Amino acid sequence: MKLKTHNDERGFFREIFRFEEQFPDSPVGQLSHSMVKGDVIKGWHGHVYQYQWNYVVSGKINVALFDDRKNSSTYRELMEFSVGDEGDSFAYFFPPGVLHGYKCVSGPMHIIYATSDTYDINDEVRVNFIDLPNSFLNLHNDA
């Protein structure tokens, strides 16, 4: 989702998510901040119940989202994109059952993310990236 930024001589103001308007049926349970160093790959995991909203504050990442929801119209489809310092500001969201990962291509990278519940290791699904489609391996390149 492309974000609208309001600039003036003092700086800028940017709304990232309007949860009540954009996701009225998805409660927010936790807000987290993570810093990741350059060339680090994070992920290859999903969630059973949890929704997640992400916003990269600084740095740049190559993101991959893989739909592993059997009843989804996009089942087994891969979405890849870059987000961060260069270009337009974006925020992204994914529901339970969507596997996700990213590579920090310009770091350190700071990401703020909200989840629909608090952290629960029993909600996590870990996946070996070798078990995913070949294009998912593109996270290893500085695309």
For the segment 91-127, what is each residue's pLDDT rounded down to a tens digit? 899 999 999 999 999 999 999 998 888 888 899 988 7
Give pLDDT, residue 110.
93
Per-residue pLDDT tens for 42-72?
A: 877 899 999 998 999 999 999 999 999 999 9
Q: State which CATH number among 1.20.140.10, 2.30.40.10, 2.60.120.10, 1.10.600.10 fits the domain covering 18-140.
A: 2.60.120.10
Q: What angle do CA 3, 106, 84 make, to 5 degrees?
A: 5
pLDDT at 95: 94
Structural contact between residues 106 and 38, judged by C-beta atoms closer than 8 angstroms:
yes
